[in-house]
Amino acid sequence: MEAALFWPLALVAIVAAVAVIAARNAVYSALFMVVVLFCLALLYLSLGAEFLAAVQIIIYAGAIMVLFLFVITLLNPQALPEQEHLPGQRWLGLPLLGLLVLALVAVVASAAWRPLPPSTLPANNIVAVGQAIFRSYLFPFEITSLLLLVAIVGAVVLAQRRA
Amino acid sequence: MLLELLLIASVKSAIALLVVITAAAYTVWLERKLVGRMQTRIGPNRVGPFGLLQPLADAIKLFFKETFIPREADKALFLIAPGISLVAALLTIAVLPFGETVTVLGREIMLSITDLNIGVLYILAVSSLGVYGIVLAGWSSNNKYSLLGGLRSSAQMISYELALGLSLVGVLMLAGSASLREIASAQQAVPFVVLQPLAFVIYLIAAFAETNRAPFDLPEAETELVAGYHTEYSGMRFATFFLAEYANLITVAILASVLFLGGWHLPVVGVVGSGWLAVVLGVLWLLLKVLVLLFCFIWVRATLPRIRYDRLMQLGWKGLLPLGLLNIFATGLGVELLARGWPAPLLVAANVALTLAALELLFRLARPLAAPAAAGARAAAGAAARGGE
């Protein structure tokens, strides 16, 4: 069941991910991004992580990508002049990409693979995720929220300076 | 066995779809009738008795209208955008419970298509996708009015979805579950509207905004944007948007009845037993609540003028969002104090007092920026000064 869902979903996710960067129109890029996020949510679902799947759609597809779409449709990037912010970034990108691929291959090749015990997730996802966040990983969770707070304050400061 | 399950699920889905789509069409009829009465008109009365066949006539008319696509439109997105809205609206039906379990031909059948243990989150997730239909319709039409409608819609949806989600957290805390059936069953003794009055108010206001209903119908404000995001749409595709909007309205009303008003559980337990009669009465009881809520939605539309856009954002971010957070803290405190043996009536009274204070704050926020009294005094002073000359 898991494999039967995994391969088609993985295929769609990869094709859509390529389409995100290949699409000529930024609106289409954003929509393909939504397809990728959707496939990931379905993958979580096939692993029995319903809570994570729902949150993935609510946060990423329902809020963040809608904001992206808001900005794209408002600014219409096709009409903006095309410019490279860093001179030569296109040519620098190629060797960096090669480096990244090498690193990924090295990590995957050296990993010790072992099958997961079947159904490690408890039936009631919400309780399990809550316990994990607020008991086992409380400190990292609070640090992450602090990080987000810093980002918000930064955005407000930038907006104030512009106004 | 699998085949049987599949068959039951398909029959239930077909019935639920038919019911909701018909109900959506007749909500339009109800709205036109009621708004007509409230504006001292008669409303539709030509087609069939009391104009009851009007939705059918409208559907036939819209079927045969030409589908018009603007030449500069993005055709693919223009054509699928209404479909996205409708699919998102109809997918929510999957978890809506309509009543208790019934026994048909020796099989236990629950009166909802399915029951997920993340039911509430599922509804939030699916309904948050409906905005894509609106934004894409606005953008792909290649029309300024459409685009502005779509932009307004996306900003409005994101702002009020937060408040809507926060208002539901209190209910989940009290029920200890996110399954709609379990939440309804947790209210057999006391409906959650008594324990969560603030959450109920926040939910209702946010629901108005999420369904693009007056006074929050800015995405299609006809006085400024022609028809907003669906300006360029005609025929069945326009009807699809219309249907999605009313299907959403019905979903929101059913959800409010199940989450806050006790769902299908009858106020008096044990009088009618637990046979078929009890199930039917339960469904009717839920239907009554949904109808009352729909009436309120229509009533508000006929009463309130459209809110200004900056005030809409102010209400959402400075009013509903902090109040939603406050409600979560208050609920947590209440649950903890109850566990330590504090009397329940005292806690409920404190919660009601908190709600009234919060509502007062909300009304202050919604009031015009320059108080009318001050403006009146200035005008009077001006008139006096002129009179003195």
pLDDT of residue B369: 55
Whether A97 maps to a domain, the answer reads: no
Distance from CA of A54 to the nearest CA of B (A): 6
Pairwise CB contact (< 8 Å): B157 & A66? yes
Whether A12 maps to a domain, the answer reads: yes
Q: Is the pLDDT of residue B274 over 70?
A: no
pLDDT of residue B389: 40
For chain A, give the percent of residues with pLDDT over 70. 87
pLDDT of residue A139: 92
**Rounded Cα distance, A96 and B149, in Å:** 42
CA pseudo-torsion sign A43, A44, A50, A54: negative
Amino acid at site A76:
N
Q: Where are the alpha helices (DSSP H) in A23-137?
A: 26-46, 50-55, 65-75, 89-110, 125-131
CB A36 within 8 A of CB A10: no
pLDDT of residue B14: 87
| From A50-64, B42-56, B210-224, the region with the lowest mean pLDDT | B210-224
Say which residue, B116 or B274, is predicted with more confidence.
B116
The residue in chain A having the minimum alpha-carbon distance to the alpha carbon of residue B158 is: A63
Q: CB count, 10 Å around CB of B84? A: 21
**Rounded Cα distance, B211 and B216, in Å:** 9
Which residues 78-137 of A have a C-beta within 8 angstroms of B?
A: 123-126
Whether A115 maps to a domain, the answer reads: no
Pairwise CB contact (< 8 Å): A125 & B155? no
**Rounded Cα distance, A122 and A12, in Å:** 29
Tell me the ipTM for this assembly: 0.78
Residue A158, burial from CB neighbour count under 10 angstroms (0-12, 13-18, 19+): exposed
Whether A59 maps to a domain, the answer reads: yes
Would an 8 Å CB–CB cutoff place B210 in contact with chain A?
A: no
Task: Please give the backbone phi and psi of residue B196, each rounded to the nearest 5 degrees, phi first.
Answer: -130, 55
Would an 8 Å CB–CB cutoff place A69 in contact with chain B?
A: yes
Would an 8 Å CB–CB cutoff place B142 in contact with chain A?
A: no
Supply the DSSP string of B251-317, one letter for each residue.
HHHHHHHHHTS-TT--SS-SSSTTSHHHHHHHHHHHHHHHHHHHHHHHHHHHHPPPPPHHHHHHIII
| From A26-35, B79-88, B188-197, the region with the lowest mean pLDDT | B188-197
Contacts of B131 in chain A (CB under 8 A): 62, 66
pLDDT tens, residue by residue, B42-99: 888 888 788 788 888 888 888 888 888 888 878 888 888 899 999 998 888 888 888 7
**Rounded Cα distance, A20 and B349, in Å:** 54
Would an 8 Å CB–CB cutoff place B73 in contact with chain A?
A: no
pLDDT tens, residue by residue, B148-170: 888 888 888 888 888 898 999 98
pLDDT tens, residue by residue, B18-47: 888 888 888 988 888 888 888 888 888 888
Distance from CA of B227 to the nearest CA of A (A): 18
Question: Domain of A16?
Answer: 1-79
Pairwise CB contact (< 8 Å): B139 & A73? yes
CATH no. for residue A59?
1.20.120.1200
Give the one of B118, B151, B158 whose C-beta lies nearest to A74's C-beta: B151
Domain ranges across chain B:
6-369
For A11, B172, B286, the CA distances from B167, given in Å and listed in that order, are 38, 9, 21
Give the one of B117, B122, B154 whose C-beta lies nearest to A70's C-beta: B154
pLDDT of residue B387: 47
Instruction: Give the N- to C-terminal CA distance of chain A in Å, as an integer.
Output: 55
Q: How far is CA A17 from the centre of its chain?
A: 11
Whether A124 maps to a domain, the answer reads: no
CA angle, B197 then B200 then B204, to 5°: 145
The token pair at A105 is 């291959």
Whether A47 maps to a domain, the answer reads: yes
CB B198 within 8 A of CB B327: yes
The residue in chain A having the minimum alpha-carbon distance to the alpha carbon of residue B148 is: A74
For A27, A63, B314, B316, B364, the CA distances from B155, given in Å and listed in that order, are 17, 10, 12, 11, 23
Amino acid at site A19:
A
Would an 8 Å CB–CB cutoff place A54 in contact with chain B?
A: yes
**Total domains present in chain A:** 2
Which residues 136-155 of A have a C-beta within 8 angstroms of B?
A: none
Half-sphere exposure of B225 (CA within 13 A, CB side): 24
Give the one of A62, A69, A70 whose C-beta lies nearest to B125's C-beta: A62
pLDDT of residue B371: 47
| From A138-147, B215-224, B368-377, the region with the lowest mean pLDDT | B368-377
The token pair at B310 is 């900056």
pLDDT tens, residue by residue, B242-264: 888 899 999 999 999 988 888 78
Would an 8 Å CB–CB cutoff place A74 in contact with chain B?
A: yes
Pairwise CB contact (< 8 Å): A62 & B124? yes
* pTM assigned to the model: 0.83
Q: Mean of the pLDDT values across residues A9-31? A: 88
Whether A155 maps to a domain, the answer reads: yes
Longest dimension (CA), chain B: 94
* Residue B388 pLDDT class (50, 70, 90 cuts): very low
Q: Is the pLDDT of residue B9 over 90?
A: no
Whether A42 maps to a domain, the answer reads: yes
